[in-house]
């Protein structure tokens, strides 16, 4: 089952396309990370998936073909927006009560137990909580709905490193204990490398590359060799991004398999998730090109 599936999906605001020709399928059972710079279309894609916006073009479905915004989708998806919207003047206990009344399904006992474990007092107003506590409260409200899919839009943007770690630990525990699939958008690559096992790279309103992290890393590598020869090999190899530093050139390439020969005088190195993400974000469109990215297009000055 795919938790989010899109075909030719697009969203336009006036004359500006926030998302265009988006085709992807995110399978369940994963922590899927949407990565890209501001304005890449991540929030637009998530808003379309949870039913907060309607497509201008194409189609999107969730939870194995369910229409976004339908009762079945609303029951199965929990969404935490970037600013973790809470009623600042309501106490935590009143927030739980309100959430219970606004949802057809909400496990208040589970939510209260989680907040107790986190040391978040029920009598305190939501607006008086720390940023990390507010994020945890928003996450608790989402998990209390017992969703099949948890959607998080930049959930860690305003949190300090410890709060980010605790937030993601909670989400990972929910996935392990309850089988919740997670789709989150972020530009904090260091956080995602630790938790994500499915990656969707977005830039300029389009998906650049998507797939399981292990498969993506296995199908790419970095070649290091003489800069004078970089142009010759870039004509033959599927180069995603090239960088020159003095007499050395570094080519991040797509491979056809682990047996691809290494050119004489060159060395091959595995690629990290951060290197892979930055390469595709620097070269939007590289994933869709049928042949190699030409050297003059990808080379940049040191």
- In tens, the pLDDT along 139-195 reads 999 999 999 999 999 877 767 778 778 888 888 887 788 889 999 987 777 767 778
In a shared domain, residues 176 and 75 = yes
Over the chain, what is the mean pLDDT?
A: 85
In a shared domain, residues 57 and 79 = yes
- pLDDT at 119 > cutoff 60: yes
Residue 125 is classified by DSSP as B
Q: How far apart are CA 87 and CA 75, in angstroms?
A: 22
Q: How confident is the model at residue 235 (pLDDT cuts 50, 70, 90)?
A: low
What does residue 83 show for φ and ψ, rounded to 5 degrees?
-90, 10
Q: Quote the pLDDT of residue 285.
A: 52
Q: Quote the pLDDT of residue 264.
A: 82
In a shared domain, residues 89 and 58 = yes
Q: How far is CA 94 from the centre of its chain?
A: 32
- Bigger pLDDT: 14 or 176? 14
pTM over 0.95: no
- pLDDT at 117 > cutoff 70: yes
Q: Quote the pLDDT of residue 291.
A: 37
| Of 47, 105, 54, nearest in space to 81 by CA | 47
- pLDDT at 302 > cutoff 60: no
Nearest-5° Cα angle at 42, 129 to 216: 110
In a shared domain, residues 34 and 167 = yes
Which of 167, 197, 214 is the last residue before a domain boundary? 214
Which of 190, 214, 238 is the last residue before a domain boundary? 214
In a shared domain, residues 151 and 272 = no
Domain count, the chain: 2
In a shared domain, residues 258 and 177 = no
In a shared domain, residues 205 and 251 = no
Q: What is the pLDDT of residues 250-274, one digit of tens each?
A: 888 888 765 567 878 888 899 988 8
In a shared domain, residues 49 and 166 = yes
In a shared domain, residues 6 and 149 = yes
Return the HEC string of 1-59: CEEEEEEEEEEEECCEEEEEEEEEEEECCCEEEEECCCCCCHHHHHHHHHCCCCCCEEE
In a shared domain, residues 226 and 204 = no
Q: Quote the pLDDT of residue 292.
A: 35
Find all residues with CB under 8 Å of 153, minimum gap 6, and list them: 42, 43, 46, 79, 80, 81, 82, 184, 185
The answer to whether 240 and 283 are in contact (CB under 8 A) is yes
The answer to whether 267 and 210 are in contact (CB under 8 A) is no
Q: Distance between terminal CA atoms of the chain?
A: 45
What share of the chain has pLDDT > 70, as a percent? 88
The whole domain housing 85 covers 2-214
In a shared domain, residues 17 and 141 = yes
């Amino acid at each position: 089952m795919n938790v989010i599936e899109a075909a030719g999906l697009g969203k336009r605001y006036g004359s500006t396309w926030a998302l265009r020709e988006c085709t992807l399928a995110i399978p369940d059972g994963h922590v899927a990370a949407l990565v890209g710079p501001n304005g890449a279309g991540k929030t637009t894609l998530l808003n379309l998936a949870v039913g907060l916006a309607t497509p201008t073009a194409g189609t999107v479905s969730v939870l194995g073909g369910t229409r976004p915004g339908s009762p079945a989708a609303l029951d199965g998806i929990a969404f935490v927006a970037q600013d973790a919207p809470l009623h600042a003047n309501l106490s935590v206990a009143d927030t739980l009560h309100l959430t219970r009344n606004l949802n057809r399904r909400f496990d208040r006992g589970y939510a209260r137990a989680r907040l107790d474990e986190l040391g978040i007092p029920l009598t305190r107003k939501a607006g008086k909580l720390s940023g990390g506590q507010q994020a945890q409260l928003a996450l608790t409200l989402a998990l209390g709905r017992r969703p099949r899919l948890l959607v998080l839009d930049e959930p860690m943007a305003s949190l300090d490193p410890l709060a980010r770690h605790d937030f993601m630990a909670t989400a990972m525990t929910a996935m392990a204990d309850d089988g919740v699939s997670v789709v989150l958008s972020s530009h904090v690559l260091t956080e995602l490398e630790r938790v994500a096992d499915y990656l969707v790279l977005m830039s300029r309103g389009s998906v650049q590359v998507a797939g399981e992290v292990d498969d993506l890393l296995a199908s790419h590598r970095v070649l290091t060799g003489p800069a004078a020869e970089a142009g010759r090999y870039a004509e033959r190899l599927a180069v995603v991004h090239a960088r020159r530093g003095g007499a050395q050139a570094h080519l991040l390439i797509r491979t056809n398999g682990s047996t691809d020969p290494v050119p004489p005088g060159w060395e091959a190195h595995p690629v990290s998730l951060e290197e892979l993400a930055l390469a595709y974000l620097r070269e939007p469109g590289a994933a869709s090109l049928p042949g190699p990215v030409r050297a003059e297009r990808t080379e940049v000055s040191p």
